[in-house]
């Protein structure tokens, strides 16, 4: 099992300083290595909150999360950085590319703190991944010079740069037209097939959801399997 979540609960502080609002409540979820799953759910139901926890950008209040044999909340310092780099890759709801950096630089950002040899490897990997994603001719462009679909592919390349076992994608096609959305879905599924990276995709698109092996719905703080 690549992802194992048991009794996960998470509350967010309410803006007025009142009682924290419970977003995820005793949530269970699992995903096999190389598997694919979609998460549907209304706005505000906690989908991004869950993805942030799986990516170790946020931590549970209670319950256990195990990804790739590791418990993110037990990791410290370098281990946590390595987890974020090599166990998971995240494609954010907004692409979050750095506007002042080129395409290649954006993909290399996560490796900036690496030692010299690792940085050289990262550079080669980044170029290869951008080539696979059809962006080899765009290495020196800035995000503002790219189409929405191209920007999202750069975000995919950045997420894949550390060769993660799990790719988390938060509404990856939300801002794209139909054709670009279909292309991006193809890209994600091909990475799943060829690189055996598991996919967990948050989406409002039924069409994208139905291409995943499992479909889950986030309701009342819990994940319910729809198919």
Ligand X SMILES: Nc1ncnc2c1ncn2[C@@H]1O[C@H](COP(=O)(O)OP(=O)(O)OP(=O)(O)O)[C@@H](O)[C@H]1O
| Footprint on this chain of ligand X (rule: CB under 6 A) | 12-13, 23, 41, 43-49, 93
Residue 120 or 219: the one with the smaller Cβ distance to ligand X is 219
Q: Name the token pair of 142.
A: 């800035």
Residue 49 interacts with which of ligand X, Mg ion, none, CB < 5 to 8 Å by class: ligand X
Residue 43 interacts with which of ligand X, Mg ion, none, CB < 5 to 8 Å by class: ligand X
Say which DSSP state 84 is in: I
* DSSP H stretches of helix in the chain: 47-54, 77-82, 103-108, 116-132, 148-160, 178-195, 206-209
Residue 49 or 87: the one with the smaller Cβ distance to ligand X is 49
Residue 46 or 164: the one with the smaller Cβ distance to ligand X is 46
Closest CB 107 distance from Mg ion, rounded Å: 23
Residue 91 interacts with which of Mg ion, ligand X, none, CB < 5 to 8 Å by class: none
Residue 84 interacts with which of Mg ion, ligand X, none, CB < 5 to 8 Å by class: none
Integer Cα distance of 35 and 193 in angstroms: 10
**Which spans of this chain sit near Mg ion (rule: CB under 5 A)?**
48
Residue 49 or 192: the one with the smaller Cβ distance to ligand X is 49
Closest CB 48 distance from Mg ion, rounded Å: 3
Closest CB 189 distance from ligand X, rounded Å: 22
User: For the chain, what is the total number of helices (H) and then of strands (E)?
Assistant: 7, 9
* Share in percent of the chain as helix, strand, coil (round to 5): 40, 25, 35
Q: Name the token pair of 111.
A: 């490796």
Residue 143 interacts with which of Mg ion, ligand X, none, CB < 5 to 8 Å by class: none
Residue 94 or 163: the one with the smaller Cβ distance to ligand X is 94
Residue 161 interacts with which of ligand X, Mg ion, none, CB < 5 to 8 Å by class: none
CB 216 within 8 A of CB 29: yes
Closest CB 223 distance from ligand X, rounded Å: 12
Residue 157 neighbours by CB under 8 Å, 6+ apart = 107, 126, 129, 130, 133, 135
Q: Name the token pair of 69.
A: 């044999």
Residue with tokens 């979050």: 96
Closest CB 179 distance from ligand X, rounded Å: 23
Residue 190 neighbours by CB under 8 Å, 6+ apart = none
Closest CB 219 distance from ligand X, rounded Å: 11
């Amino acid at each position: 099992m690549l992802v194992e979540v048991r009794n996960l609960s998470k509350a967010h502080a309410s803006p007025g300083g009142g009682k924290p609002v419970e977003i995820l409540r005793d949530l269970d979820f699992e995903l096999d290595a190389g598997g694919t799953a979609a998460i549907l759910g209304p706005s505000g139901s906690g989908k991004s909150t869950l993805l942030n926890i799986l990516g170790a950008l946020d931590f549970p209040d209670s319950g256990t999360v195990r990804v790739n044999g590791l418990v993110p909340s037990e990791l410290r310092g370098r281990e946590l950085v390595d987890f974020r780099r090599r166990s998971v890759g995240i494609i954010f709801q907004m692409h979050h590319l750095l506007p002042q950096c080129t395409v290649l630089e954006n993909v290399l950002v996560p490796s900036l703190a690496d030692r010299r040899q690792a940085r050289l490897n990262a550079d080669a990997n980044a170029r290869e991944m951008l080539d696979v994603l059809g962006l080899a001719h765009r290495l020196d462009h800035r995000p503002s010079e790219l189409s929405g679909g191209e920007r999202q592919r750069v975000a995919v390349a950045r997420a894949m740069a550390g060769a993660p076992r799990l790719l988390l994608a938060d509404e990856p096609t939300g801002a794209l037209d139909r054709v670009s959305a279909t292309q991006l879905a193809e890209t994600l599924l091909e990475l799943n097939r060829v690189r055996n990276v598991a996919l967990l995709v948050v989406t409002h698109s039924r069409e994208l959801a139905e291409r995943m092996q499992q479909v889950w719905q986030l309701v009342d703080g819990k994940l319910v399997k729809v198919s």
